[in-house]
Structure 1
């Protein structure tokens, strides 16, 4: 990972993406490589179409989104029409980070990435908790 952003500057889209890749690289072995097959996209905010589809009115309420078909619902006979994508939204993440004040930006990005990967892998709450100790 590159040097962290100076304290006076908000983390960039690229820095958030680096943190997300770092979070994926620390996953337990059975999940690490499959997680790298999910495309990561980092934007400042979700677009209006995403918000409308999810019924979310305030774009600051959405820190991340998994867009794809969970592995538990895929079949080898399925025709792949688009890649699975995890979207991270920088401004809502930064707002939550500032509001919390008790976690690092790396911890928060890792939490959002793992939460979105949970949708991809079809994990239970217990499986999420074994990897992401967020609630302890």
Structure 2
């Protein structure tokens, strides 16, 4: 297990977001990225969560809507990683996975693509 305080972990998440391809992030609309310590149930199994309505399910979506959220959980990531490089890789994978949900790609397809 590696140790990163909340501020250092958030900097890693921002850094990994900046490294994502432009064509992946340019289409993100009305979405915020949030870092939390753990999921509400306190488990260490869930690394991230997309909380919103996928683009493929949006009918009339526009002004006044609360932003969708992608949540990255710090403690589960730290529990699964032993080095900063592993942590960066896992954060990257989590971001890609959750962004894919925004675009309407489900877990089954992500598994086929190697992102689950």
The two structures share one fold, judged by TM-score above 0.5? yes
Does 2:71 match 1:78?
no
Q: Which residue in 1 is equivalent to 2:7? A: 14
Which consecutive residues of structure 2, in runs of 5 or more, have no partner in the other structure? none
Larger radius of gyration: 1
TM-score, normalized by length of structure 2? 0.75
Structure 1: 4+ residue segments shifted above 4 A: none
**Count of paired positions:** 111
Higher relative contact order (CA 8 A, sep 6+): 2
Which consecutive residues of structure 1, in runs of 5 or more, have no partner in the other structure? 1-8, 49-57
**In 2: Cα distance, 1:33 partner to 1:14 partner:** 26
- The RMSD of aligned alpha carbons is 2.9
TM-score, normalized by length of structure 1? 0.65
